Structure 1
């Protein structure tokens, strides 16, 4: 059985000598994955123009999301049967190879193919890091390390677009991809000593190969949802059967009872999916609606995302500080309330048209809810996992995250199109889908405690 390290010299800290290099390395790897998932939005129009590939623009974003599901499942099963070290190394190679492929891509189809490889590595990398947290950090430090992971995802949202634009202007868009490769290698060096100190895990039963098949089906369905969700008329309606296929394929990839939010771990994973669905549905439209309804410039409207990043980080820091007094279920329940209230406030603002700051503030509240609840879904998942299923459960949480966001955003796109054709309020209709996800997240969060 793999050992879980503890600090015998008093209260452990993330940046104590025992954990500092590993913490910094893990934080950096999360930040680089997040940077490539978000900041490239800034340079992708330039990339598409340079490679004459605007027809593949949306596919460049959907491809790594879909392939990431396969990477998550593969890494989860491999980590359970052989430990996380080898799959982590392979994930780093795939992620870096994808970045190199993007940076050197001569055509847009080549870039999309490289994004598929990048997504495989990024999805696997996320799962491996979750597994390593369970092996390397004592339970008392897990809320703090997941808080740092949350910050690693938020920071690229705040600064990534500006950094990417600056790099593209000074050195060219290719270095937005190529420049990260060296940084990934440096982060890998930081965590290598802690990997060498791990005990060899007891070999578990190999994961059924059918899981990879279901992951591929799920990835294809997610890709269809992503592509069809932005279409109009009949094509948009095809997102419904695509979403159904995604749910059917999801069932073997998550713990039994997840789709019905069975009490305990299944409800935790369902809560993660619904929180992501509601929140990222709001993120999809917040800038768009501030520009169209309130007439704000893009730079001014973007301040809403800055406020969200700050509120997410502050709430994430607070939940880590309250780890001894605030239960995982309490954090998830409170966070779900804030997400639901924030989305309802944003939707009401769209309909009633108060000052723009009211709409932005509502979404900032939702960001605080994510900061409070999101890290605790990871903590609760690890608390309910052992060496035999930590990889599978980590993959399930990451898959639920991706699919929850993708399907909710696609459903909101359908609502947007239908309401627009019917002469209704398209923005309110789209955001109402996010409100539904936020409300359901509160229901599942209440059930996230252990059986009994």
Structure 2
């Protein structure tokens, strides 16, 4: 760590026994249960929300309700580490759990669509608190050599929910109604958070001193709302509003990253590369089904296979142990190679769409999705862990909230980057396949930039960066 002890003693082997040993292992299990429950909950909402909108005659609020939780999470995380540092971890978990229960109850008992919207806003605030707390716990309790394995376990928690979650929740909704499908995963989430609360005392008290203006949070959310709204309009003013909103969201996100890193160049590179990788992946994922259905004329099932191949690849590669410490030996190349694979997958997706043939394009797209997932699995574990390398355990909270913000915000930024531009371009008369292929090629170019940033971030510094 920052006192140089990591350099003097051999790095621990990244075995599951080492990861789950002792009190920190019990806290990790609680965090994994919460992550699994959160994955099931998120998939449940997206699966049954159309049924709720139809039943409550709330189609006009569908888009806002779908985005509400993510936007409120982004805002909470954009506030920086101050809430966690003031409250303490135990109190923060308690408040987040109460907020989550209120949000889930409002959604499940909603007499009108607006109550689901409000419930999602409250649930998103809770998610923002827990995301920052989880990163802080992992960043402070695990050595640099073990942390990639830990983050790989979190990626794996999404495998089963992604594969069977939609079917299970659709079955529950058909059997007993959409309200039960929304509420049952809350039991897993709340159970995991109770276990977190019992172990929270082992997380070191934070003293980062970093502060982030609430104006950044309001600015990011406002910019994303502007880009989202204008992407559904037409004409040059719509393009202008979309570009201003998207660029402002990215610029303010990078400003938050710089402030959270304290200006340390290598950590700025690490957080920016992490944000960039997530943006590239989620930008592609959001339009993969559209590329198959709208660009190639394939089936909805085929579109789902592409997304599934990417998700499975990411989850499974995250389980592959990472040995050593980033910047030493062969590990130096794992994350950059992963980002390069993501970029190659984007080029393959572009070629698949340009083939204009479902017979040729769909198999290529499925293979490309798998390559993108494998690349992301290689990069994600190292990049997410590298955000905390050589950082004192008592000074991780600012970086933790910035990393959680980067991952959460990238989902919306990425989907707006490809989905928003697709809506605007096709509304102006552009061909769907050409528009999608151009988008994938732009993402491939971004992957080159992210590869360079990742390489710079993983070089060992001449001196320890605080």
Identify which of 169, 173, 176 aligns with 2:174: 169
Residue correspondence of structure 1 range 371-386 to structure 2 within 5 A = 371-386=377-392
Q: State the alpha-carbon separation in 2 of the partners of residues 190 and 370 from structure 1.
A: 30
Aligned-partner Cα distance in 2 for 1:65–1:427: 25
* Mapping 1:359-378, distance limit 5 Å: 359-378=365-384
Q: CA deviation at 1:30?
A: 1.4
Q: Secondary structure at the match of 1:447?
A: helix
Residue 188 of structure 1 is matched in structure 2 by 193
Shift, 1:202, TM fit:
6.1
How has the CA–CA distance of structure 1 residues 323 and 31 changed in structure 2, closer, same or farther, with 3 Å as cutoff? farther
Contact 1:253 1:396 in 2 (8 A): yes
Match of 1:348 among 345, 348, 351: 351
Asked whether 1:250 is paired with 2:224, we answer: no
How many residues align structurally?
A: 444
1:166, distance to aligned residue in structure 2 (A):
1.6
Structure 1 residue aligned with 2:183, among 178, 183, 187?
A: 178
TM-aligned CA deviation for residue 413 of structure 1: 3.2
Matches within 5 A, 1:11-160: 12-16=17-21, 18-74=23-79, 76-80=81-85, 83-160=88-165
Distance 1:329 1:156, change over 3 A: farther
Q: Counterparts of 2:151 and 2:193 in 1: how far apart (Å)?
A: 18
Task: Name the structure 1 match of 2:336.
Answer: 333
| Change in 2 beyond 3 A, CA 1:417/1:18 | closer
Paired residue secondary structure (1:320): coil
Structure 1 residues 99 and 56, CA, compared in 2 at 3 Å: closer, same or farther?
same
1:436 is aligned to 445
Shift of 1:169: 1.4
C-alpha distance in structure 1 between counterparts of 2:24 and 2:430, whole Å? 57
Residue matched to 1:446: 455
The match for 1:299 is 301
Is the 8 Å Cα contact of residues 315 and 377 (structure 2) preserved in structure 1? yes
Matched, 1:235 2:238: yes
Deviates more, 1:233-242 or 1:121-130: 233-242
Please report how far the alpha carbon of residue 189 of structure 1 lies from its aligned counterpart in structure 2 after TM superposition: 3.1
Cα displacement (A) at 1:387: 4.2
CA distance in structure 2 between the aligned counterparts of 1:438 and 1:262, rounded to whole angstroms: 23
SS of residue matched to 1:61 = helix
Moved more, 170-179 or 299-308: 299-308
**Shift in Å at residue 68 of structure 1?**
0.6
Mean Cα deviation higher: 72-81 or 34-43:
72-81
Structure 2 Cα separation of the partners of residues 25 and 327 of structure 1: 32
Q: Equivalents in 1 of 2:260, 2:85: separation in Å? A: 21
CA contact (8 A) 1:13 1:19 kept: no
CA distance in 2, matches of 1:383, 1:35: 31
Task: Point out the more displaced range, 391-400 or 361-370.
Answer: 391-400
Q: Equivalent of 1:403, from 406, 409, 412?
A: 409
Q: Deviations over 1:271-330 (max 9, x none)?
A: 112111111121112112222344433234322222222211221112536768766653
Normalised to the residue count of structure 1, the TM-score between the two structures is: 0.88
* Change in CA separation of 1:135 and 1:322 when aligned onto 2, cut-off 3 Å: closer
**Structure 1: distance between partners of 2:378 and 2:312:** 12
CA displacement at 1:67 relative to structure 2: 0.8
For the residue of structure 1 that corresponds to 2:171, the secondary structure is: helix
Gaps of 5+ in 1: none
- Given the superposition, is the C-alpha separation of residues 270 and 202 from structure 1 closer, same or farther in structure 2, using an over 3 Å criterion? closer
Contact 2:99 2:125 in 1 (8 A): yes
Shift of 1:451: 4.2
Q: Compute the displacement of 1:79 (Å).
A: 3.1
Closer/same/farther in 2, CA of residues 137 and 388 from structure 1, 3 Å limit? closer
Shift of 1:338: 0.9
Q: What's the Cα RMSD here?
A: 3.1
Contact persistence 2:206–2:395 (CA under 8 A): no
8 Å Cα contact 1:329/1:445 also seen in 2: no
Looking at structure 1, the residues matched to 317 and 331 of structure 2 have their Cα atoms a distance apart, in angstroms, of 14
How far residue 137 of structure 1 moved from its aligned partner, in angstroms, is 3.0
Q: How many angstroms does 1:236 deviate by? A: 4.5
In the alignment, which of 317, 320, 341 is matched to residue 319 of structure 2? 317
Task: Work out whether residues 208 and 397 of structure 2, in 8 Å CA contact, stay in contact via their aligned partners in 1.
Answer: no
Aligned to 2:227: 225
Return the alpha-carbon distance in structure 2 between the equivalents of residues 240 and 355 of structure 1: 31
Q: From the superposition, tell whether residues 168 and 188 of structure 1 become closer, same or farther in structure 2 (CA, over 3 Å).
A: same
